[in-house]
Amino acid sequence: MKLILKIFKWIGKIIGGIIILILISGLCFRLFSSKPIPPGELVDVNGTKLHIRTDGEKNNLPTLILESGAGNDTDVFHWIAEGLKKNMRVVRYDREGKWFSESSKDSFTPEFYARQLHALLEKNGEKPPYILIGHSMGGPYNRIFRDLYPNEVKAMVFIDSSHPEQWKRLAENGLFEKSQISLIKIFAVLHDMGIMGAYNSITSPKSLDKDLPQDCQNRKHNLTSYSGDVYRRYLKENNINDDILLRAGQSNVLDSLPILVFTAKKQYGNPKIWFEMQKELKDLSTKGKHLYIDANHGSIITKKENAEIINKEILLMTESIN
């Protein structure tokens, strides 16, 4: 019996030592790591600093506004921006609280983000007309923007875009399941403590955005390692998702506005239902064009050859409407 107690005592000391070592590693990471530097500029919009990146010169062509999905940042549009910046002005940004943008203290409404983007564009000296390009949840955000500022939008591009009825028709609960939400909360705390940052520094995990340049991969890795803010923003996006989709669904007619719809052939859910909803996006306008790309939901924009297909179509559309 004494031997068993002695063994348990030693096991307890070992576990305690490991926990202390983990906590010290996290503390060291927090003390000696520096906050990643945003690749663009921080512009104050009504007391909230929003991250914006601009490429290309202003000319007689419409300015492209790139709106990312629920969990992504400006770097996912790297190849889109690189391929189009020599022809036209390209603007990408982070919504409030996302990645390099500060969290806003304003009250949330489904139209809040469209109005905040509009103010950001004005503050940064951008001028309409605009072509709105949205990937994933970026599509619904753009539909709201166009509904509020129809005279400023010349065309729209949906890249494997979300649909207002997607959760009901796909029989899914939303962006995250309950079990995933609990895990994200734990991840946020571990990142705040520096534990995941220390772990990532040692293990150097592979990036999910392997098709993007290394500096883009490093930036995402460094920012997610630095704190749990990115993960908490995932949860906020999940909470507001239904309201955004509902409001986007109210702008269900785009008349003769030129639109492009790009759909990834490789889908995780029910592809038949997803393809039906993508066709409905094309049918929002009498001037809609629908193209399928041999990609998945992420690689449709992060892979260079896929972005080149999209860029070619955008330029053709721009020339036809200008």
Per residue in 156-192, pLDDT tens? 999 999 999 998 888 887 777 777 878 877 777 777 7
CA distances to 130, 149, 189, 196 from 90, rounded to whole Å, are: 10, 19, 36, 34
Q: Is the residue at 3 inside a domain?
A: no
- The pTM of this model reads 0.88
Tell me the pLDDT band of 236, cut-offs 50, 70 and 90. confident
- The two structure tokens encoding residue 49: 């600093």
Q: Is residue 133 predicted with pLDDT exceeding 60? A: yes
Which position has the higher pLDDT, 210 or 94? Answer: 94
Structural domain total, the chain: 1
Least confident of 3-17, 124-138, 184-198, 288-302: 3-17
Per-residue confidence (pLDDT) for residue 288, from 0 to 100: 92
Query: Is 237 part of any domain?
Result: yes
Cβ pair 107, 33 in contact under 8 A: no
Query: With the CA atoms of 317, 128, 152 and 310 taken in that order, what torsion angle do they form, in degrees rounded to the nearest 10?
Result: 30
What are 66's strand-pairing partners?
A: 92, 133
CATH of the domain at 123: 3.40.50.1820
Residue 26 lies in a domain: no
Report yes or no on 213 lying in a domain. no
For residue 247, name the pLDDT band (cuts at 50, 70, 90). Answer: very high
**Does residue 157 contact residue 260 with C-beta atoms inside 8 Å?**
yes
Q: Which one has a higher pLDDT value, 234 or 31?
A: 234
Domain assignment of residue 298, given as a range: 41-174+230-321
